[in-house]
Structure formats: structure tokens, C-alpha cells
Amino acid sequence: MKDWRWLLLVLALVTGLLQHRLWLGPGNSGQVQALQAQVDAQKRDNAGLQQRNDALAAEVMDLKDGESAIEERARSELGMIKPGEKFYRVVESSAAPSAPAPLSGGVGR
């Protein structure tokens, strides 16, 4: 009978030590959850950056392969026009000026 008590005591101590390490020791469950959150955030950042890289790669391929992209960029960024074309600039007017506020003076003086 005494052997079983010692065995139960040893098993209880081992279980206690393992639980202590699980909840409070290095690499505990709180740290694991924090690291998993960091990994998830990094994966989201990587996905956004991968989309940006794909868009830039497509733009590079378009610039290498076609003249239309180069022409469009020259027209939009540099304001270039082809010989014989007429350039018209449309300027939107700002908001119409409001009527002046009436003077606040005494009426009937």
C-alpha cells in the first residue's frame, strides 16, 4: 500500500511541474498565442506586399513589351502630345463665391 502512495505523490509532483511549465514557464501558452498573432500579422503584411510586387512586375512587363504603356505614361506624367495633336486643358472652376453677408447695422436709424 505504501508503494502506491509514493507513486501517486510522484505523479502529482510531475503533473504539477508540467502544469507550472505550461502556464508560467518559458514558451508558455500566452507567449505562444502572442507569437501566433505576430505570425498572422506578418502573413497579412506579406500578402499585401506580394500584391504590390505582382502589380509592379506586371507594370514592368507592360513597359518592356508595349509602347502603349510608355506613351500613356509620357502623356499623363510629362504632358507630351504627338505632332499634329491639339492640347486642351480643362480647368474646373472652384466653388462659386458666396454672396457677401449683409452688414449688421441697426435698421431704422
Convert the pLDDT of each residue in 87-109 to its tens digit. 788 888 876 556 565 665 555 54
Percentages of the chain per state (helix, strand, coil), in multiples of 5: 65, 0, 35
Convert the pLDDT of each residue in 1-50 to its tens digit. 567 888 888 889 999 888 877 777 777 778 888 899 999 999 999 999 99
Mean pLDDT for 39-66 is 92
Mean pLDDT for 83-88 is 84
| Distance separating alpha carbons of residues 21 and 25, to the nearest angstrom | 4
C-alpha cell, 102: 449683409
Q: What is the pTM of this model?
A: 0.43
